[in-house]
Chain A
Amino acid sequence: MPTHIQPTVLLLLLSSVALIGLPHAWTIAPSVFGFFYALLIWRVVGIWKKNWLPNKAILFLLTCAGIALLYQQHLGVFGRNAGTSIFITALGLKLLEIKTTRDVYFIVFLSFIVAATLFLYQQSMGMALYIIAVCVSLLATLVVINMRTSDAKKAIKTALIIILQALPLGITFFILFPRLEAPHWTFLQDKSQIKSGLSETLEPGAISDLALSDELVFRVKFDGAIPPQPQRYWRGPVFSLTDGKKWLPLLKRDTQRNQDTLSFSGSPYQYTLLLEPQDKNWVFALDMPDKLAPPLKINTYYQVTTDANPSIRAEYTLQSYSDYNTGNIGNSERQENLQLPPVISPEITALVSQLHGFDASPSRFIQEVMNHFRTQQFYYSLTPPLMEENPIDTFLFKTHTGFCSHYATAFVYLMRIAHIPARVVSGYQGGELNKQGNFLEIKQADAHAWTEVWLENKGWTRIDPTTAIAPERVEQGVNIDKQINSGSVNFDLGQRGSTAANIAKQFRQAWQNADYSWQRWVINYNNTNQAHFLSRFGLNNSQRMLTWLFAILSGLTLGLFWWLTRQPQKQQDHASRLYQQFTHKLAKLQLQKLPGETASAFAIRIIQQHPDLTLPINTITELYLKIRYNKDSDADDLKKLTQAIRALKINHLRRH
């Protein structure tokens, strides 16, 4: 093995490393990123200017500088950001010290780890394809070192073939390798990793960006009974003010609610809520909370907030009733929740009137609106078309496709036109029961928007218009919901407009659909989804999964082995077999090829006895000898020989 590293190897290696570092521009501190690329460029220059490369003393100083840079970031040693920065700095420093092939291997392996850290930030389809491309380049580097003549083109081709051959095996692993319940090791979490969740304003279409996020928001452990899925509404900010497009909460006039009008019945749910670090001081209590201990507070809209620092994971003990009556509301609260934009389109007024908004009881009207959603071809989708102008009109009369926020805002809008006080409530709905720990896990994907309508004698009553269109969303939780509404319904929507715009739209929708499937089937393929998916094939435990994993892997490996080591059939052998067929046929004429007799001698003997066969016998013998002993013979000759021998049977033997 040559210990001297060829420039081709170095160029391939350094370009792969440059590519692997590039997406980290968005993830790590600019100083670390800059340091890494400075070292990389230094090394690239060093390919031609060997003397410019640092000696040991300078390398030591650079290492110190790298450590100082990391220390300055205050990231610690553990955690995503810290680990990524450490690996990248180490990779950069190692680049300046490439002496033997061992160093090249080390750098390539380190690059694979840096590639993995990229996935901790970005899991899009594009990123996956990008990393696979860089992996090809990294493997090509290894191929080049193992070649005598560094031929980058051949090496890349070889690496590509390896990746393609590995693909079926890799996919089998991915599907069947049993996923374990991921641990939540707090010391590995980033120190400054605050998740952004629900927003302070609401627009139709909001929340859908959270719908695919697997991020944990909070966990709830109940003392005693756990509320059924349709009652798991975790209350967040309440929106009353609107301009027809954007919805805002009311200004905070009296944050502490006078609770005298609120009354409960039935038995309470007692629970402990473990809230992940948040950027806002909202606490998502089960509808409707009672009895709060400091630092918790409740505002006029029954939203619970905390006085403690929300960026630290905190635990709260709460109590809620699912049966409640908020009692009467004052005139100002009534007016606030009837507020509408100054101009209301005649179509909406006509719709409200058609649904008996002006001439029937509020509960009847609510039923009518829900029926309207149910019967009028409304669709529930994560990726509805964009609605720039008059989103509510567009949604109600044109697109008919929306997410929970569309249904909630439109519903409140219709209620208010009919003079029924109504408001939008956002929060989370559902939550997945962790059977081992017997607690609920609420993720960003559970984010939801619903409405409250004020009814005489009942007070603020929760109505969820999404149940009209996608009852599974509320009854079964998000996972099933995602599966059912895979977004493919979007394709049926024929939009008026130019063909180009339509194609662009379809293309975008196809992309969104692909992205959704990617999120659903690749990114969120966790232990629950895996169990669900594989149980369809009867693989309902990890032992069976492993058995099948090994069975399929062995099968694929053996298949690949056979394919790789199969020898191309030699033409000579094929010709011999054909010639044997020929001699078998002649045996019927009482002509036997003697052992040791050459093909030509045999031919002469046949022709002596059967002069009528001269032409075919000569053709066959010539072709046979040509294929066997002449290098210039090709597949064409073999075909001719086959035909000649076949023809012999039809034309001559019958005549005899």
Chain B
Amino acid sequence: MLPFLKSVAKNSANFKRKRIFDSIFKGEKPVKGPIELKHRRIFILPTKHGLSFMLLLVILLLIAFIYNNNLTYLLAFMLISVLVVTILSTFRSLAGLIIHAGQHKPVFAGDIAAISLLIENPGTIERFNLEFKIEQPVYYDAAAYSREPLTLYANTHQRGCFQIGTIKVTSRFPLGLFRAWSPIRFEQPILVYPKPSSTLLPFPETATQQALQGSVKKGGGDDFYGLQAYQAGDTIRHIHWKAFAKGQGLLTKHFSNENSATCWLDYAVTPGHNTEERLSQLCRWVLDAEATGLKYGFNLPGLSLPPAQGKTHQAQCLQALALF
């Protein structure tokens, strides 16, 4: 449950009113599964153009009345009916649309998060110019019976479990006189890692690592040791692609220092003025260690990961940093 909802739940007097308010502006409770846009979720109001169109109708009715002109009456009545039909059409361009939340890739704080959605149009009608918006609007035409991915972007600021806010799906089609919108929320948080520190510090010197410091400083990976069959967790960088291209299977290049070079990344010894700075520095080290092919152990208060290497290990470390 989101923090703000928790606080709202306590204040039960305002709860119901708040919920209605929320359902209009923020959307209903976040859900995991696909969301079908139904009448309960769709709101519709005239746009500025819609209001001026109503003024036009009043003028036409006035002309018809003053001159007692039946065809002007007919024109005014036709345009009133067009307005009514437009309400329905605009509503219809959202109704029935199904939106699936895709898997989001973790990002570093300050980067732009890509939020992937899958838009399914189960009906026979083509839906034109749908606007999807978190921060910047993205426009999309959904063909009949289509099921296509759509990516939205949102800025991230803080590390942690980032709840993507309300996605507002809007349509003004066909005439732009009415705006139908549906605020939706998915329970599909994005993991935001700390922003990697920009200062380049050497890896921390720990007891186990000290003896081998020299070879690490050389940058490692120079002394070729041999080829081994690929194992899950091996870094992609070291895969012997030429051999793979020749059809010899996946082989990983191993270097002399790999077996021995190990460092410990420990929160306790990480420099920094505050927690965020330390986490940021740890993040930098994790990335660098992985890039250089160094084995690294990871120590956070309450969490200790033995030295290892590879994408999975890196992801584990970064996740721990994000959620610390």
Q: Decide yes or no whether A382 CB sits under 8 A from chain B.
A: no
Quick check: is B9 within 8 A (CB to CB) of the other chain? Answer: no
Q: Is A139 within 8 A of B69, CB to CB?
A: no
**Nearest opposing residue in chain B for A143, CB measure:** B174
User: What's the Cα separation between A158 and B126 when bound, in Å?
Assistant: 11
CA distance A183 to B129 in the complex (A): 46
B243 to chain A, nearest CB (A): 40
Is B150 located at the chain interface by the 8 A CB criterion?
Answer: no
Give min CB distance, B175 to chain A, whole Å.
Answer: 5
Which one, A109, A146, A169, contacts B84 given CB within 8 A? A169
Bound-complex Cα distance A647 to B26 (A): 54
Across the interface, B89 reaches (CB within 8 A) one of A101, A525, A564, namely: A564
Complex Cα distance A193/B180, Å?
48
* CB <8 Å contact, B60 and A148: no
CA distance A112 to B64 in the complex (A): 13
In the complex, the answer to whether A158 meets B174 with C-beta atoms within 8 Å is: yes
**Docked-complex contact A113 and B56, CB < 8 angstroms:** yes
Stretch at the interface among B70-78, B203-211, B248-256: B70-78
Cβ contact of B85, chosen from A127, A142, A162, A188, cutoff 8 A: A162
Q: Are A163 and B82 in contact (CB under 8 A)?
A: yes
Is residue B168 within 8 Å, beta carbon to beta carbon, of the partner chain? no
Which B residues touch A117, using CB under 8 A? Answer: 63
Is B89's CB under 8 angstroms from A162's CB? yes
Rounded to whole angstroms, the CA-CA distance of A526 and B128 in the bound complex is 42
Please state if A146 and B81 are interface contacts (CB–CB under 8 Å): no
Decide if A105 touches B88 in the complex (CB within 8 Å): no
How distant is A13 from chain B, measured CB to nearest CB, in Å?
A: 14
Question: Please, which residues of chain B bring their CB within 8 A of the CB of A344?
Answer: none
Q: Are A146 and B78 in contact (CB under 8 A)?
A: no
Q: Given A146-B175, A149-B141, A105–B85 Cβ distance below 8 Å?
A: no
Kindly identify which residue among A106, A146, A525 contacts B174, using a CB–CB cutoff of 8 Å: A146
Q: Tell me which residues across on chain B come within 8 A of A570, comparing CB atoms.
A: 122
Query: Quick check: is B25 within 8 A (CB to CB) of the other chain?
Result: no
Q: How many residues of A contact B (CB 8 A)?
A: 60
Which residues of B have CB within 8 Å of A146?
128-129, 172-176
Q: How far is the CA of A171 from the CA of B56 in the complex (A)?
A: 19
> With A105-B176, A116-B64, A120-B67 known to touch, is A163 a contact of B88 (CB < 8 Å)?
no
A297 within 8 A of B: no
Contact residues, B27-76 vs A (CB, 8 A): 49, 52-53, 56, 59-60, 63-76
Contact with A along B219-230 (1 / 0, CB 8 A): 000000000000
Q: Assess whether A112 is in contact with B75, with CB atoms less than 8 Å apart.
A: yes
Contacts of B174 in A (CB 8 A): 142-143, 146, 158-159, 162
> Whose C-beta in chain B lies nearest to the C-beta of A188?
B66
- Nearest-Cβ distance from residue B91 to partner chain A, whole angstroms: 8
Provide the residues of chain B in CB contact with A182, threshold 8 Å.
65-68
Within 8 A of A (CB), among B243-269: none
A119 and B89 contact, CB distance less than 8 A:
no
A residues 375-416 in Cβ contact with B at 8 Å: none
Contact A128-B173, Cβ < 8 Å, known A567-B96, A568-B124: no
Give chain A nearest CB distance to B61 CB in angstroms: 9
Tell me, yes or no, whether A493 is within 8 Å of chain B by CB. no
Contact B72 A120 (CB under 8 A): yes
- In the assembled complex, the CB of B154 is this many whole angstroms from the nearest CB of chain A, namely 21
Contact with B along A89-131 (1 / 0, CB 8 A): 0000000000001100110010011011101100100011001
Chain B positions 119 through 135: 1 when the CB is less than 8 Å from some CB of chain A, otherwise 0: 00011100011000000
User: Is B86 engaged at the interface, CB distance under 8 Å to the other chain?
Assistant: yes
By the criterion CB–CB under 8 Å, are B65 and A119 in contact? no
Task: Determine the chain A residues whose CB is within 8 A of the CB of B76 once the complex forms.
Answer: 116
Contacts of A131 in B (CB 8 A): 71, 75
User: In the complex, are the beta carbons of A565 and B128 less than 8 A apart?
Assistant: no
Q: Judge whether A173 is part of the interface by a CB distance below 8 angstroms.
A: yes
Of chain B, the residue at the smallest CB distance from A523 is B70
Chain A CB within 10 Å, residue with most, of B64, B71, B173: B71
The answer to whether A116 and B75 have CB atoms under 8 Å apart is: yes
Q: Does A608 contact B (CB under 8 A)?
A: no
B211 to A: closest C-beta gap in Å: 60
Contacts of B172 in A (CB 8 A): 146
Separation of A169 and B71 alpha carbons in the complex (Å): 15
Q: Are B70 and A148 in contact (CB under 8 A)?
A: no
Interface: A135 (CB within 8 A): yes
CB <8 Å contact, B78 and A166:
yes
- In the complex, the answer to whether B70 meets A123 with C-beta atoms within 8 Å is yes
B139 at interface, CB cutoff 8 A: yes
Interface string of B150-188 (1 = CB under 8 A from A): 000000000000000000000011111100000000000
Q: Known: A142-B175, A142-B176, A564-B92. Is A113-B74 also a contact (CB below 8 A)?
A: no
Residues A506-537 near B (CB distance < 8 A) = 522-526
In the complex, which of the residues A169, A170, A570 has the most CB atoms of chain B within 10 Å of its own CB atom?
Answer: A170
A119:B84 contact, CB within 8 angstroms: no
Question: B59 to chain A: which residues have CB within 8 Å?
Answer: 113
Which A residues are in CB contact (< 8 Å) with B60? 112-113, 116
B80 at the interface (CB under 8 A from A): yes
Cβ of B24 under 8 Å from chain A: no
Instruction: Knowing A162-B86, A525-B70, A568-B123 are in contact, say whether A105-B52 is a contact too (CB < 8 A).
Output: yes
A contact residues around B86 at 8 Å (CB): 162
Given contacts A113-B56, A128-B74, contact A119 B69 (CB under 8 A): yes
Known interface pairs A115-B75, A146-B129, A561-B88. Does A169 touch B70 (Cβ–Cβ under 8 Å)? Answer: no
CB of A5 within 8 Å of the partner chain? no
Say how far A362's CB is from chain B's closest CB, in angstroms: 47
A557 → B minimal CB distance (Å)? 6
Q: When chains A and B are docked, how far (Å) is the Cα of A128 from the Cα of B72?
A: 10
Q: Roughly how many angstroms separate A170 CA and B53 CA in the complex, as a whole number?
A: 16
Known: A182-B68, A183-B66, A568-B124. A173 touches B80 (CB 8 A): yes
**In the complex, A123 Cα to B67 Cα: how many Å?**
12
| CB closest residue in chain A, given B87 | A557
Residues from chain B with a CB closer than 8 A to the CB of A170 are: 74, 77-78, 80-81
Most buried by B among A113, A119, A159: A119
* Complex contact A147–B128 (CB within 8 A): yes
Q: A169 contacts B72, CB within 8 Å?
A: no
How far is A169 from B83 in the complex, measured between Cα atoms in Å?
Answer: 11
A594 within 8 A of B: no
Given contacts A109-B52, A142-B176, A567-B123, contact A169 B74 (CB under 8 A): no
In the complex, chain B residues whose CB is within 8 Å of the CB of A158: 174
- Set of chain B residues within 8 Å of A120, measured between Cβ atoms: 63, 67, 69, 72
A147 to B130, CA, bound (A): 9
- Given A146-B173, A182-B66, also A109-B81 (CB < 8 A): no
The answer to whether A113 and B63 touch (CB under 8 A), given A162-B174, A567-B96, is yes
Q: Which residues of A contact B80 (CB under 8 A)?
A: 169-170, 173
Interface centre among B85, B86, B95, B176 (most CB of A within 10 A): B85
List of 10 A-B pairs having minimum Cβ-Cβ separation, nearest first = A182-B68, A169-B81, A166-B81, A173-B77, A119-B71, A170-B78, A170-B81, A116-B72, A142-B175, A109-B56
In the complex, 30 of the A-B residue pairs with CB atoms within 8 angstroms, ordered by the A residue number, are A105-B52, A112-B75, A116-B69, A116-B72, A119-B71, A119-B75, A120-B63, A120-B69, A139-B82, A142-B175, A143-B174, A162-B82, A162-B174, A162-B175, A163-B78, A163-B82, A166-B84, A170-B74, A170-B77, A177-B77, A180-B65, A183-B66, A185-B66, A188-B67, A522-B71, A524-B70, A557-B84, A560-B88, A565-B96, A568-B123
Q: A147-B173, A170-B81 are in contact. List 20 more A-B contacts (CB 8 A).
A: A117-B63, A119-B72, A120-B72, A127-B71, A132-B78, A142-B177, A143-B174, A146-B175, A147-B128, A159-B174, A162-B86, A162-B174, A162-B175, A166-B84, A169-B77, A173-B77, A173-B81, A174-B73, A557-B84, A568-B123
Enumerate chain A interface residues (CB-CB to B < 8 A): 80, 101-102, 105-106, 109, 112-113, 115-117, 119-120, 123, 127-128, 131-132, 135, 139, 142-143, 145-149, 158-159, 162-163, 165-170, 173-174, 177, 179-180, 182-183, 185, 188, 522-526, 553, 557, 560-561, 564-565, 567-568, 570
